[in-house]
Amino acid sequence: MTQAVVSRPTAPARKIVQGVPMPSWPMRIFKGLVLLVFCAVVIIPFVGVISTSVAPNKQINESGGLVLLPKSVNFAAYQSLFSGGVVTQALFVSIFVTVVGTLLSLTVSCLLAYALSRPGFAAGRPILLVVLFSMLFSPGIIPTYLTVKGVGLLDSIWALIVPTMISAFNVVVLRAFFMNLPNEITESARIDGASELKTFVFIVLPLSKAVLSVIGLFYAVAYWNAFFSALLYLNDSKLWPLQLVLRTYVINDTQLGSAELGTELLPPQASIQMAILVVSIVPILIIYPFLQRHFAKGVLTGAVKG
């Protein structure tokens, strides 16, 4: 009885909140189907790639390429990728660039954003203008290349990190978030005698986990996905990150032999290619669910306050 009394008002209440009357069933089914098709278009390529990378050779040959449902699972392709050849090497480069790059980017961006978020910071205005103005135009490929060359970063792994270490947009988002923190918190920390650095590290950063994880994700994804800076700045194929390897052996279809793989174990090209793709996709798939709930928050702080 109570159950019914409590639950009954909620159904009409929801209708009022939504403002529009419940659509008819055919309409709802139609929308559901459209959405299902969209989601399928996004998911099927991933399913195909992952399935093919573990599918048995016979099945791959029969299908002529991609397999959607593997009849059995084997990891031969991954074994040969991870036996110390080009792909293993590239994986280490990519992991190094992503981890070190993201840490440096977050540090540098947060420090700058925090300084800019302090009320009454003497140099705040001119520095903020320098940051904002840089978003208005990009300096162009040629002068950027010549600058990177000028500071001696060509053919160095740091060329993948240093030039793109700071994004003005991310600084603006972080600054907006820091400014929204209640002033009383930092104020009371200062009164208790905490230095600027201590206030920042022990008070401000722990309160900013949501925005830090989103901005960290943006930086990490940018580093992991960086392809053009590697193409532009690195001639030495030993320094190639995963994305360049992917382009050479998957998109341009260059044969990966035992010399490149460092093993005699040679599964079919198709499954090796798909395995390289999977190796470059999976890290993003792993961190994605953890950070997803913060997306809207992180993106919108920037959009509203920016």
Partner 1 sequence: MLQRSSKHPQQQLSLGRRLLRDRVLLLFALPGVGLIIAFHYVPLLGNVIAFKDYQPFLGIGGSDWSGWENFSVIFNGDPAFLRALKNTLILTCLQSVFVFPAPIVLALLLNSLFSERIKRIAQSILYLPHFMSWVIVVALFQQMLGGNGLLNNYLRSHDLATINIVGNSELFHVLLTSQIIWKDTGWATILFLAALSQIDSQLYEAASVDGANRMKQLWHVTLPGLRGIIILLFILRLGDSLTVGFEQIILQQQAVGRDVSEVLDTYVYNNGVLGGAWGVAAAVGLVKGIVGVILVLTANKVAHIFGEQGVYQK
Site for partner 1 in 277-306 (CB under 8 A): 277, 280-281, 284-285, 288-289, 292, 295-296, 299-300, 303
Minimum CB distance to partner 1, residue 262 (Å): 23
Question: Is the torsion defined by CA of 305, 217, 90, 51 positive or negative?
Answer: negative
One residue of 1, 3, 12, 21 binding partner 1 per CB under 8 A: 21
Residue 272, amino acid: I
Regarding 168 and contact with partner 1 (CB under 8 A), the answer is yes
Regarding 265 and contact with partner 1 (CB under 8 A), the answer is no
**Piece in contact with partner 1 (CB under 8 A), picked from 34-42, 77-85, 203-211, 257-265:** 34-42
Tell me the residue length of the chain: 306
User: Is 162 or 266 the residue whose CB approaches partner 1 more closely?
Assistant: 162
Smallest CA-to-CA distance from 219 within 182, 171, 152, 272 is with 171
Regarding 33 and contact with partner 1 (CB under 8 A), the answer is no
**Piece in contact with partner 1 (CB under 8 A), picked from 3-11, 74-82, 85-93, 223-231:** 223-231
Binding pattern for the stretch 50-69 against partner 1, x by CB under 8 A and - elsewhere: -------------xxxx-x-
User: Is 188 or 195 the residue whose CB approaches partner 1 more closely?
Assistant: 195
Minimum CB distance to partner 1, residue 264 (Å): 26
The greatest distance separating any two alpha carbons of the chain, rounded to the nearest whole angstrom, comes to 79
User: Is 66 or 207 the residue whose CB approaches partner 1 more closely?
Assistant: 66
Regarding 114 and contact with partner 1 (CB under 8 A), the answer is yes
Regarding 103 and contact with partner 1 (CB under 8 A), the answer is no
Structure tokens at 229: 């800076």
Residue 188, amino acid: S
Regarding 5 and contact with partner 1 (CB under 8 A), the answer is no
Distance from C-alpha of 249 to C-alpha of 275, rounded to nearest angstrom: 11
**Piece in contact with partner 1 (CB under 8 A), picked from 17-25, 76-84, 202-210, 256-264:** 17-25
Regarding 38 and contact with partner 1 (CB under 8 A), the answer is yes
Minimum CB distance to partner 1, residue 173 (Å): 13
User: Is 103 or 108 the residue whose CB approaches partner 1 more closely?
Assistant: 108
Structure tokens at 16: 């009022």
Binding pattern for the stretch 195-214 against partner 1, x by CB under 8 A and - elsewhere: xxx--x--------------
Q: What angle do CA 53, 58, 59 make, to 5 degrees?
A: 60
